[in-house]
Amino acid sequence: MSEVERLLREALTPVEPPEGMTDRLERTLTETRDAAVEELTDWELHSMRDPRNWARPIGAAAVLATAAAGLVVVRMRQRQRGRKAHRLGGVERSVRDAAGDVRRRLPR
């Protein structure tokens, strides 16, 4: 292995964030999402006829979409970490399910 390869491997190794950081990020994204939802629910539809009034609801919708997407990513990562702990059990279950599916499809 060359020196460059070794340095790249060291530089590109994944780093897990501190445990509390994930919780803080999830809490912040949830609060942001809730604030954006509140902003949108307080908006009156009759005022939407004037395009000058569109900036706030469009901004709130963009914040809502971004915060919701961030929450999805954070929660998927949390589930992924939980699955790593139970990976062998999951593999075993998948093999059993696949074998059962094959047995059901085979003609008798």
- Identify the band that residue 22 occupies on the pLDDT scale cut at 50, 70 and 90: confident
- Identify the band that residue 28 occupies on the pLDDT scale cut at 50, 70 and 90: very high
Mean pLDDT of 26-37: 89
Do 74 and 29 meet the contact criterion of CB atoms below 8 Å apart? yes
Q: C-alpha distances in angstroms, 49 versus 39, 53, 56?
A: 18, 8, 14
Mean pLDDT of 83-96: 61
Q: What is the mean pLDDT of the chain?
A: 78
**What pTM did the predictor assign?**
0.54
